[in-house]
Chains A and B, each alone.
Chain A
Amino acid sequence: MDTLQVLMEWSPWLLQGTIYTLGLVLLSLALGLAFGLPMALGQVYGSRPARYCIGAYVWFFRGLPVLVLLFLFYFGIFPSLNLDIPVFFIGVVVLGLRGAAYQAEIFRGAIQSIPDGQMLAARSLGMSQWQAIGSVILPQALLIALPGWSNEYPEVLTETSVCYAIGVLELLTRASQIVAETYIAMPIYVSVAILYILLNYAGMQALHGLERRVMVPGFAQVTS
């Protein structure tokens, strides 16, 4: 019964960690979207220098291990800028900027998969290039990208655990603190695993729900 008591006692601490983890996921996905979508448009429609810069960005952020990026920002970039921001936000920035590189590639592929005829038809009606992108290309690209984009959620969710390394008080950090305090390891880590799975399940349900809501005939349908 000792174990159960310990779990009960520490459960608020773990739940707070869950909220931190969820916050890391949602904020870094949002940051990734805010940067990734414009980068994808730049990759497809931008000038040569713009495409080159975006390509370099994607190459950099996809080419380094998350942990290395995290240390670079934690020990290097933020201190050198004299920015004293909470480690939580360092985690959000690193996961978000890295996610932006992946999301840019997802959206670029979706945009490029749209037949040229869609742009031609839009332009033939008198739309400017940006009107055509906004009214015709982007809405279709988002529908095409959604199933692939949904992969980013479990990807980033599991990635958040590296924030342990810089002491963000997310799920894994708090769990290891409890273990250090109580010397009970397995039940704690099993609880952590269950919480990750629940977060994953809830997020995927929400994304599938979104897919069902927005999909139209002719675009990929959710199976199940």
Chain B
Amino acid sequence: MHTKGDIILRVEGLSKSFGSLQVLRDISFTVRKGETKCFIGPSGTGKSTLLRCINQLTVPDSGRVFLFDQEVTNAGPRINELRQRMGMVFQNFNLFDHLTARKNVEIALLRVKRMEASAAREKAGFELRRVGLEDKADQYPAQLSGGQAQRVSIARALAMDPDVMLFDEPTSALDPELTGEVLEVIKGLARDGMTMLIVTHEMGFALSVADEILFMENGQIAERGTPEELMTNPGFDRTRRFIGRIRDFTRAPGEG
């Protein structure tokens, strides 16, 4: 399955504790260009913390992260430049509430990339079309559904032309009937060759979109493999049990 491009992200021995609670223990992996990795596992096992340690929104206690050959950890003020290349999508969207959808996408282009207003507007229009929301460009976040808001936040991150996208439970705050539209957008990105790290509880989605699934437990990568390996090979019991539990839990009554 690993016929993707060069390694663009390298995580080496990341550890992080909050007080006496160790949330990440010596996590290492690499990500190749165009690859989609899905992180699954019980709540509180450090999946979201891991994503935030990658772009340094949370500073890890030890370990190193490299984007291409540039170190992201201990980057000093260069971190602002490096973060532009790692788009992040949050569970709660975190759209800028005082700005329309279009301005949400434009603002970092204007303030961070110092684009011309007309170029930024054009880019914002392009990214909003890409997530199917050009007709909502002038709506404020409060006027959007959860699914629309999350798609705008994906457009906002994509507009920076990142090398890798980090999705932190992108559908967990959505009503079930709204998750589909967001997952479709992400699947589209995978088809277009975007490199992505996705923390998710949507097992069907993870199995269909991921090149590799990493099952995390107690701050460690407990098991990892391609979706096929996880579902067929012996030795992935914990992952399979976890997936089974999630499916039983999320299946609607009467569905079987």
Q: List 5 A-B contacts (CB under 8 A).
A: A117-B92, A121-B96, A125-B160, A216-B98, A219-B97
In whole angstroms, what is the CA distance A34 to B157 when docked?
35
Taken residue by residue from 121 to 136, chain A's Cβ proximity to chain B (1 for < 8 Å, 0 otherwise) reads as 1111111100100011
B142 is contacted by which of A117, A127, A143, A218 (Cβ under 8 Å)?
Answer: A218
B52 to chain A, nearest CB (A): 8
B141 contacts A125, CB within 8 Å? no
B108 contacts A216, CB within 8 Å? no
In whole angstroms, what is the CA distance A12 to B83 when docked?
64
B90 contacts A117, CB within 8 Å? yes
Asked if A140 CB lies within 8 Å of chain B CBs, one says: yes
Q: Given the complex, which residues of A lie within 8 Å of B153, measured CB to CB?
A: 121
Asked if A167 CB lies within 8 Å of chain B CBs, one says: no
Within 8 A of B (CB), among A90-141: 115, 117-118, 120-128, 131, 135-136, 139-140
Chain B residues bordering chain A, tally (CB within 8 A): 30
Q: Top 3 A-B pairs ranked by shortest CB distance?
A: A218-B142, A126-B84, A121-B94
Taken residue by residue from 106 to 132, chain B's Cβ proximity to chain A (1 for < 8 Å, 0 otherwise) reads as 011001100000000000000000000
B157 contacts A125, CB within 8 Å? yes
In whole angstroms, what is the CA distance A26 to B181 when docked?
52
| Contact A121 B83, CB 8 Å, known A131-B111, A136-B96 | no
B215 to chain A, nearest CB (A): 26
Q: Which residue of A lies closest to B92 (CB)?
A: A117
B102 to chain A, nearest CB (A): 13
A124 contacts B55, CB within 8 Å? yes
Of A123, A126, A131, A217, which is in contact with the most chain B CB atoms at under 10 Å from its CB?
A126
Q: Which residue of B lies closest to A135 (CB)?
A: B111
B141 contacts A126, CB within 8 Å? no
Task: Name the prevailing secondary structure of the A interface residues.
Answer: helix
A127 contacts B97, CB within 8 Å? no
Chain A residues bordering chain B, tally (CB within 8 A): 22
Asked if B57 CB lies within 8 Å of chain A CBs, one says: yes
Asked if B143 CB lies within 8 Å of chain A CBs, one says: yes
- A residues neighboring B (CB under 8 Å): 115, 117-118, 120-128, 131, 135-136, 139-140, 143, 216-219
Q: Which residue of A lies closest to B139 (CB)?
A: A217
Asked if B151 CB lies within 8 Å of chain A CBs, one says: no
| Contact A140 B98, CB 8 Å, known A124-B57, A124-B88, A218-B141 | yes
A85 to chain B, nearest CB (A): 40
Q: Given the complex, which residues of A lie within 8 Å of B108, measured CB to CB?
A: 122, 125-127
Q: Given the complex, which residues of A lie within 8 Å of B157, measured CB to CB?
A: 124-125
Asked if B62 CB lies within 8 Å of chain A CBs, one says: no
| Contact A125 B57, CB 8 Å, known A120-B94, A140-B98, A218-B97 | no
Taken residue by residue from 65 to 91, chain B's Cβ proximity to chain A (1 for < 8 Å, 0 otherwise) reads as 000000000000100111110111010
Q: Which residue of B lies closest to A134 (CB)?
A: B111
B129 to chain A, nearest CB (A): 20
Q: Given the complex, which residues of A lie within 8 Å of B143, measured CB to CB?
A: 217-218
B176 to chain A, nearest CB (A): 22
A211 to chain B, nearest CB (A): 14
B83 contacts A126, CB within 8 Å? yes
Taken residue by residue from 151 to 182, chain B's Cβ proximity to chain A (1 for < 8 Å, 0 otherwise) reads as 00100110010000000000000000000000
